[in-house]
Amino acid sequence: MTDPVHKRDIRYSSDDGHPWEEDNKAGQAIYAATKKEPTVRMPGEFLYGKPLKWYFDIIVWPMFILLIVEIGVRVMQAKYFTTVKPEIFEYVINFARAFLLSYLTIVAIKQSSAGKKQTLTAVTIGGILVGLVLAVFQLFWYFELWTFFNLLGQPLLLGLEGLVISWLIITILRKK
């Protein structure tokens, strides 16, 4: 009686034991043609093909200036200008927000040659981050119940403002 042949020892005539590795040039060419090259080449490039560091580099200075202006105006209003109407400070803060979010949009488009989606994402992320820092500041500055709800509302509001302002600026720049 002969020894049983183990399935690992089976040899095929065309492939030296590996049927999945055919020497078929046409099959390899079809596979190579259908194989798509990944659009994400580095870790972290999941937001429209740019790494998070790029977004951070674009966002950091305009949003830092917005934070300083907004916190400074709030502190000056509460400490030094208590007799002045509070609406004036709201106008100043809204103007600073609109100006710096517009500036961030223009910088992202002109200097960094960002696309529409990248610009909208950068400005929205910037608004969300500034809103989060402002909400934490207001949590400790006022320490009232509404400030806990503001931890969710303020970042969403500033993110939405950034999205709308950047969309308007992009639309205006594309018409020119």
- State yes or no: pLDDT of 17 exceeds 60: no
pLDDT band at 141 (very low <50, low <70, confident <90, very high): confident
Tell me the per-residue pLDDT of 146-163, one tens digit each, with 9 for 90 and over: 888 999 999 999 999 999
- The pLDDT value recorded for residue 50 is 74
Please say whether the beta carbons of 129 and 66 come within 8 A. Answer: no
One-letter amino acid identity for 166? S
Helix then strand then coil, in percent of the chain rounded to 5, is 70, 0, 30
Task: Report percent pLDDT > 90 for the chain.
Answer: 32
| Reported pTM | 0.68
- The pLDDT value recorded for residue 3 is 59
- State yes or no: pLDDT of 48 exceeds 90: no
Give the mean pLDDT of 111-128: 88
Please say whether the beta carbons of 138 and 158 come within 8 A. Answer: no
Task: Report percent pLDDT > 70 for the chain.
Answer: 72
Concatenated DSSP letters of 113-166: ---HHHHHHHHHHHHHHHHHHHHHHHHHHH-SHHHHHHHHHHHHHHHHHHHHHH
Most confident of 15-24, 49-58, 139-148, 165-174: 165-174
The lowest-confidence range among 1-10, 93-102, 151-160 is 1-10
- The pLDDT value recorded for residue 153 is 93
- The pLDDT value recorded for residue 1 is 55
Q: How many residues does the chain have?
A: 176
* HSE (side-chain half, CA atoms, 13 Å) at 73: 19
- The pLDDT value recorded for residue 102 is 93
More confident residue, 34 or 129: 129
- The pLDDT value recorded for residue 63 is 87
